[in-house]
Amino acid sequence: EDQVTQSPEALRLQEGESSSLNCSYTVSGLRGLFWYRQDPGKGPEFLFTLYSAGEEKEKERLKATLTKKESFLHITAPKPEDSATYLCAVPRGNQAGTALIFGKGTTLSVSS
């Protein structure tokens, strides 16, 4: 069964304290992995797409990496405004007429 698992469920950091969020997946034939940021009461905001093992994408203090079994979202020197829930998702199956499976997310809190 296709599955996406994120860890930890919650993460508290001090401003400037770097860390990583994990997204592990079990799907046959990965056709992309997506990272999103969600603020309370808002819809998820798209951050990155990764398609192949070894690929990396960066945006400000965030860097996403991908291996054959998992993806990491590295947060370097976070600021309070990085506080949000981070979601990862992968397409189900191998057909374009499909939908995404989402993990339950990691809620990040950064304090000053």
Least distance from C-beta 45 to another protein, angstroms? 8
Task: Write the CA distances from 15 to 8, 29, 80, integer angstroms.
Answer: 18, 38, 7
Q: Is 17 in the site for another protein (CB under 8 A)?
A: no
- Which of 3, 7, 26, 49: binder of another protein (CB under 8 A)? 49
The span from the CA of 61 to the CA of 21, in Å, is 13
* Of 66, 82, 84, 91, the one binding another protein by CB under 8 A: 91
- CB count, 10 Å around CB of 19? 15
Instruction: List the Cα angle 67/104/30 in 5-degree steps.
Output: 30
CB of 43 to another protein, least distance (A): 3
Contacts with another protein, residue ranges (CB under 8 A): 31-32, 34, 36, 41-46, 49, 87, 89, 91-92, 95-100, 102-105
